[in-house]
């Protein structure tokens, strides 16, 4: 890696250290130790000045050809991305603070990775592209068709029409584990669920979202009066709906269960959620009552109703979605340590142990995010946690540790001890296994899924009992 690229990669770390009073000599010494490259303080200073200096940009006009996208945050325009010969140009609004920008002003020879990481993936991307009639590989057209994205970034919104309501049965957990209540769901939102699940079109308006990931999802508003609806153009959403998954039966029930277990039993920060179970009120005759589960998850990238700034770790690493399974556990922790500090890594260690115990083989850097506030970054709440193993994806986390994809429980805990006290890791493990059976019993899984989950967690429990090293043992009293 060239010296210039090193400074650009570590720019957030450098600026945070400068705010903490570190000199450029001290920062240069740290970079040399981290990267093996000797970089002079004067060179770091020059690169930082060049990055801060606003570049002269070509004039961008809305010529009606679809080659321009205005980006908004909190309803305020923050900049314009334009498609030009040989690449893209981003022009930031002068009145907007640089800390609110997803990317810096300038020319990009390819679609900016920080924006690419905000886009939907897989079937979700293909569905939107089919509806909007463009090539699914066209990142620019996909961005132009979306709104209300993760971290508060978005493009223009659509209209909202008058709503008619239907009733759903919502299933969640309380201290007694199971809570059922009627949820009023507006007609437009019911229509979006039907459209997304069946892949059909009708006259019900869409509100596509730039929420990334492969599972079909869109944004909504839960108003606190047991009413779920599509938000109008001038209102920020506060919930995400993940539509029942055809390929992976009851995966939404699993995610809902694991989010609750992590938050209520382990003290891990995670958004609130509940599951909509279809009943006789649902206007689709081919849906049998209770056979489909739609997950409603609170948006944590909101503060007092307004979007707050979060970014996926993969985007902060300046990597694309295609690289998400190549970034190892070590690199994730090194990046969080550099950008958010030791306490964030301590919390992250508990989460990665939880991921392993839960069977979450999708623990890549797009599923870890950092929030931004004055003074630096902090670890966002946990999200997108499921058991992938029962669906045939058996790699422990889906990413390498020590260069291996097939590492074991003991390998992971030995690594996590660098960042979290052994007692905390032990308590996380013990509380997980104390709680999991109760949650399994109180979730309406079908017999096949329930059997697979119980067999998996029995194996994980036995594996943890066999691990004995450095005072960490699965056996009682050790």
Judge whether 392 lies within some domain.
yes
Query: Quick check: is 266 in a domain?
Result: yes
| CA separation for the pair 130, 163 (Å, rounded) | 26
pLDDT at residue 445, as a whole number: 86
Residues 269 and 397 placed together within one structural domain of the fold: no
290 plus 377 within the same structural domain: no
Cα of 315 vs its chain's centroid, Å: 11
Per-residue confidence (pLDDT) for residue 402, from 0 to 100: 94
Domain boundary (18, 33, 52) is at: 52
pLDDT at 22: 79
Instruction: Identify whether residues 329 and 279 lie together within a single domain.
Output: no
Query: Are residues 335 and 270 part of one domain?
Result: no
Nearest to 58 by CA among 21, 22, 84: 84
Q: State which residues form the domain around 173.
A: 165-303
| pLDDT score for 224 | 66
**What is the phi/psi pair of residue 71, to 5°?**
-100, 140
- Do 288 and 321 lie in one domain? The reply is no
210 Cβ neighbours under 8 A, 6+ residues apart: 118, 119, 120, 143, 146, 147, 148, 149, 150, 153, 154, 155
Same domain, 299 and 313: no
Tokens 């890549």, residue located: 364
Ranges of H-type helices in 10-71: 11-19, 24-35, 41-52
Q: Which helix (H) or strand (E) holds 144?
A: helix 139-144
Domain membership flag for residue 25: yes
CATH value at residue 437: 1.10.1070.20
Question: Same domain, yes or no, for 179 and 297?
Answer: yes
216 and 246 in one domain?
Answer: yes
Q: Tell the burial category of 330 from Cβ atoms under 10 Å away from its Cβ (0-12, 13-18, 19+).
A: middle
Q: How far apart are CA 222 and CA 227, in angstroms?
A: 6
| pLDDT, tens digit (0-9, with 9 covering 90-100), for 302-319 | 655 555 678 889 989 988
The DSSP line for 393-419 is: --SSSSS-BTTBSS--HHHHHHHHTTT
Alpha helices in 215-316 (DSSP H): 251-260, 266, 313-316
Contact between 223 and 132 (Cβ < 8 Å) = no
- Whether residues 442 and 319 share a domain: the answer is yes
Do 272 and 345 share a domain, yes or no?
Answer: no
Note whether residue 129 is domain-resident: no
Where is the domain boundary, 273, 303, 333? 303
Q: Are 401 and 412 in contact (CB under 8 A)?
A: yes
Pairing of strands 76-84, 293-298: unpaired
Residue 308 · residue 302 · CB < 8 Å: yes
**pLDDT at residue 196, as a whole number:** 67
- Give me the number of domains the chain comprises: 3
The alpha carbons of the chain give a radius of gyration, in whole angstroms, of 23
Residues 333 and 455 in one domain: yes
Residue 114 lies in a domain: no
Among 237, 272, 303, which residue terminates a domain?
303
Same domain, 414 and 334: yes
Kindly state whether residue 60 falls inside one of the protein's structural domains.
Answer: no
Residue 314 belongs to some domain of the structure: yes
Chain segment 350-370, per-residue pLDDT in tens: 999 999 999 999 999 999 999
Question: Does 256 map to a domain?
Answer: yes
> Which residues of the chain fall short of a pLDDT of 50?
52-64, 148-178, 201-212, 279-290, 469-478
């Amino acid at each position: 890696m060239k010296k210039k690229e090193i400074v650009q990669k570590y720019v957030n770390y450098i600026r945070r250290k400068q705010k903490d009073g570190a000199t450029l000599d001290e920062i240069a010494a740290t970079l040399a130790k981290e990267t093996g490259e000797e970089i002079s303080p004067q060179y770091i200073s020059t690169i930082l000045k060049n990055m801060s200096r606003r570049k002269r940009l070509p004039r961008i006009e809305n010529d009606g050809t679809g080659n321009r996208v205005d980006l908004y945050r909190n309803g305020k325009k923050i900049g314009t991305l334009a498609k030009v010969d040989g690449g893209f140009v981003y022009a930031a609004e002068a009145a907007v603070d640089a800390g609110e920008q997803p990317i810096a002003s300038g020319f990009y020879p390819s679609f900016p990775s920080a924006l690419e990481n905000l886009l939907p993936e897989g079937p979700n991307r293909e569905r939107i592209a089919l509806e909007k009639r463009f090539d699914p590989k066209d990142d620019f057209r996909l961005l132009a068709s979306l709104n209300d994205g993760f971290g508060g970034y978005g493009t223009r919104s659509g209209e909202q029409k008058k709503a008619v309501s239907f009733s759903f049965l919502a299933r969640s957990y309380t201290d007694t584990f199971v809570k059922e209540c009627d949820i009023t769901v507006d007609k437009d939102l019911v229509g979006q669920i039907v459209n997304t699940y069946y892949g059909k079109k009708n006259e019900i308006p869409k509100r596509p979202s730039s929420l990334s990931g492969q599972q079909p999802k869109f944004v909504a508003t839960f108003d606190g009066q047991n009413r779920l609806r599509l938000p109008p153009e001038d209102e920020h959403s506060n919930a995400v709906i993940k539509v029942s998954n055809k390929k992976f039966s009851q995966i939404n029930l699993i995610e809902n269960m694991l989010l609750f277990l992590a938050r209520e039993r382990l003290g891990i920060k995670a958004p609130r959620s509940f599951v909509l179970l279809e009943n006789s009120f649902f206007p689709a005759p081919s849906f049998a009552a209770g056979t489909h589960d739609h997950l409603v998850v609170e948006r944590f990238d909101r503060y007092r109703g307004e979007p707050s700034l979060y970014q996926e770790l993969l985007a902060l690493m300046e990597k694309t979605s295609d690289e998400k399974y190549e970034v190892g556990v070590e690199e994730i922790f090194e990046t969080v340590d550099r950008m958010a500090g030791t306490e964030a890594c301590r919390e992250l260690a508990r989460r990665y142990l939880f991921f392993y115990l839960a069977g979450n083989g999708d623990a890549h850097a797009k599923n870890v995010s950092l929030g931004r506030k004055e003074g630096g970054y902090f670890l966002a709440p946990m999200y997108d946690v499921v058991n992938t193993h029962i669906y045939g994806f058996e790699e422990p986390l889906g990413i390498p540790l020590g260069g291996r994809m097939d590492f074991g429980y003991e390998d992971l805990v030995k690594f996590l001890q660098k960042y979290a006290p052994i007692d905390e890791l032990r308590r996380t493990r013990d509380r997980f296994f104390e709680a999991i059976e109760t949650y399994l019993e109180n979730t309406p899984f079908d017999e096949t899924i329930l059997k697979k989950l119980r067999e998996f967690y029995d194996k994980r429990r036995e594996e943890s009992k066999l691990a004995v090293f450095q005072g960490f043992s699965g056996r009682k009293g050790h």
